[in-house]
Amino acid sequence: MLDGIASLLEKSLLVREKSSSERVRYPFVKMTHGYGAENESRYTMLETVRDYGLEQLVANGEAEMLRARHTACFVRLIDQTERSDPHPTLALILCLVDHEIHNVHAARIWAMEHDAQAALLLTAAFLRWSQSQGTYAEGAHAIAEVLALPDAAAHTVACQGPSLGAYRLMRGEVDVSKAQALVEESLVLSQELGHTKGEAQALTILGRMAHERFDDFDTAHRCFTQALALHNAGQRRRHGLCSDLSRRRRAGPGRLRAGAAAG
């Protein structure tokens, strides 16, 4: 494979690029490997060469096999990243999707027709990126599209991602009640599957909803306390977030009373 790439480079049919833009866009994480790593080489195929290759694959009946392998590759990359420590998982997911947005779109489109579980996982990653870009309408459309798939109703961990993604869209002033319902569904699903990480994430989100949107400090405290019990020592970042929000909840009623008295 490397010899083939070298040959194409010599013939100027491939272009090698070194990208470090993710280090600027996501400076809060030091990238030492994978997407966003310093001096990472990327190979870009000339459009005419790519089009010719696709034509040959179609002519030889190999196009669908290649698309399936292409989708599987990105599902594997995202799944491996999701299984890593929560920090810097988010930054890595954002870098991966930002770097490969056209590939992620292509893989998601293929998966929508052939593999609902893969489509769910790819959509969850896309939603994180969509929220970071502020493209809430596009994200909302992606959620509705993937959750409408017949096989999306299967009780699997992959189904949880788009449901949690609704919260990120909620922060962009999309339908709050629908977003909350999706996160509650995600919580129930995670509990049924014994998916501790997903359960803790859903509880944290519900706590933030109660705190930020409804000033429901009792519900927020209950959700944060349950989430704290589920997060393990390796998830320090989320553990710290839950602790901070729980402290804010305890101080909240006092601030509200002081504000009312001042008014």
In the chain, the amino acid numbered 223 is: C
- Range with the poorest average pLDDT among 42-51, 99-108, 252-261: 252-261
pLDDT in tens, 17-31: 765 544 445 443 444
pLDDT at 186: 81
pLDDT confidence band for 59 (50 / 70 / 90): very high
Q: Output the DSSP codes for 78-120.
A: HHHHHTS-HHHHHHHHHHHHHHTHHHHHHHHHHHHHH-HHHHH
- Range with the poorest average pLDDT among 17-26, 60-69, 179-188, 245-254: 17-26
| Range among 145-159, 160-174, 229-243 rated most confident | 145-159
How large is the average pLDDT for residues 202-231?
Answer: 87
pLDDT at 114 > cutoff 90? yes
- Range with the poorest average pLDDT among 118-122, 229-233, 236-240: 236-240
How large is the average pLDDT for residues 193-215?
Answer: 84
pLDDT at 209: 84
For residue 128, give both structure tokens. Answer: 């994180």
| 261: helix, strand or coil | helix
pLDDT at 80 > cutoff 50? yes
| 220: helix, strand or coil | helix
In the chain, at which residue ranges do the beta strands (DSSP E only) sit? 14-19, 40-45
How large is the average pLDDT for residues 89-117?
Answer: 86
- Read off φ and ψ for residue 19, nearest 5 degrees: -115, 135
Q: What are the angstrom distances between the C-alpha of 164 and each of 101, 142, 198, 202?
A: 21, 13, 9, 7
pLDDT at 33: 43
Distance separating alpha carbons of residues 125 and 142, to the nearest angstrom: 11
For residue 8, give both structure tokens. Answer: 């194409």
Distance separating alpha carbons of residues 11 and 4, to the nearest angstrom: 11
Q: How many degrees, rounded to 5, is the angle at CA 162 between CA 157 and CA 164?
A: 85
pLDDT at 171: 55
